[in-house]
Structure 1
Amino acid sequence: MSFDKDKVLAQFHKMCQNTLMETLEIEFIDAGEDFLTAKMPVNPRVHQPMGLLHGGASVALAESVGSAASLMFVNPELQEVRGIEISANHLKSKREGTVYATARILHKGRSIHLWEIRIVDENDSLISLCKLSNMVLPRRR
């Protein structure tokens, strides 16, 4: 079965309606067989009180893209994905513009997926480096 990027992106767009991802204006913009990319605007909606990108918003972006990426490797009729651990190193601040998060698989087991998520800005400067572990579970009916 061939990978259909447009179908994957449309599926994720639909899943994000009326969720935190919609609130934060996270948009999935690129996908491949082993990666997924989303973008998020940096504006007062995602600022901390000092006017900088909130670390929690970066983590929400990272977990959103990493968890969605795991869905590309499971059968959604039979399996569900749950984030079980995330770590983030915030390396550079950002006041405005856009950040891009790309999740790349580090380990794809039957029950655990490990992702590295790099969050960069428009100039490809590294803003945050995150690691996400997802558990693959049988789908609850």
Structure 2
Amino acid sequence: MLHPRFPTPQEVTTLSPEALAARLGGLEGTLGHKLGIRFTYASPQRVEAHMPVEGNRQPAGRLHGGANVALAEELASVGSWLNLDTERQVAVGVDINATHVRGVLEGSVSAVATLAYRGRSTLVWQIELSDGRGKTTCLARCTCAVINR
């Protein structure tokens, strides 16, 4: 079931990317909410967000790689849903891979997901995460399948 605060197909076409991002913030009961993901821009072709390191660390004190992957999939999933008629279709992640290239000890990471391919039944997203200095920390790709309800 789609979160009740998720933008409607009408809102996706009428709200600005910043207003869409504001609608996506703080969706209680979601993993993104637990991880502290904060959306800053959302459109059917591009989604941007930030996630704090605090609360998302691995035992050695660095940002957990699984948190990176969850952030990447959150953006790809949200972006995929923004491309659908949510009354008739759902999107589900079917593949994700990530290469962690730099550790992060503090602050937050920013992520930018860009739609790389849009077909009738498949959407593929490229996601780049970076630290507070703008240095790339993780590169990911996520594929979502489109399923009719």
RMSD: 1.5
| Partner secondary structure for residue 46 of structure 1 | coil
What is the distance in 1 between the residues matched to 2:96 and 2:123?
Answer: 12
Name the aligned partner's letter for residue 103 of structure 1: A
| 1:1-141 paired onto structure 2 within 5 Å | 1=13, 4-13=16-25, 16-43=27-54, 45-139=55-149
| Partner secondary structure for residue 25 of structure 2 | helix
Q: Which runs of 5+ in 2 are unaligned?
A: 1-12
Name the aligned partner's letter for residue 55 of structure 1: G
The number of aligned residues is 137
Name the aligned partner's letter for residue 18 of structure 1: G
CA positional deviation for 1:33:
4.7
TM-score by structure 1 length?
0.90
Q: Deviation string for 1:57-83 (max 9, x for gaps)?
A: 000000001110111111111111100
What is the distance in 2 between the residues matched to 1:18 and 1:123?
Answer: 31
What is the distance in 2 between the residues matched to 1:76 and 1:37?
Answer: 21
Q: Percent same amino acid at aligned positions?
A: 34
CA positional deviation for 1:120:
0.6
CA positional deviation for 1:8:
1.9
Q: Which runs of 5+ in 1 are unaligned?
A: none
Name the aligned partner's letter for residue 17 of structure 1: E
CA positional deviation for 1:3:
5.6
What is the distance in 1 between the residues matched to 2:124 and 2:105?
Answer: 30
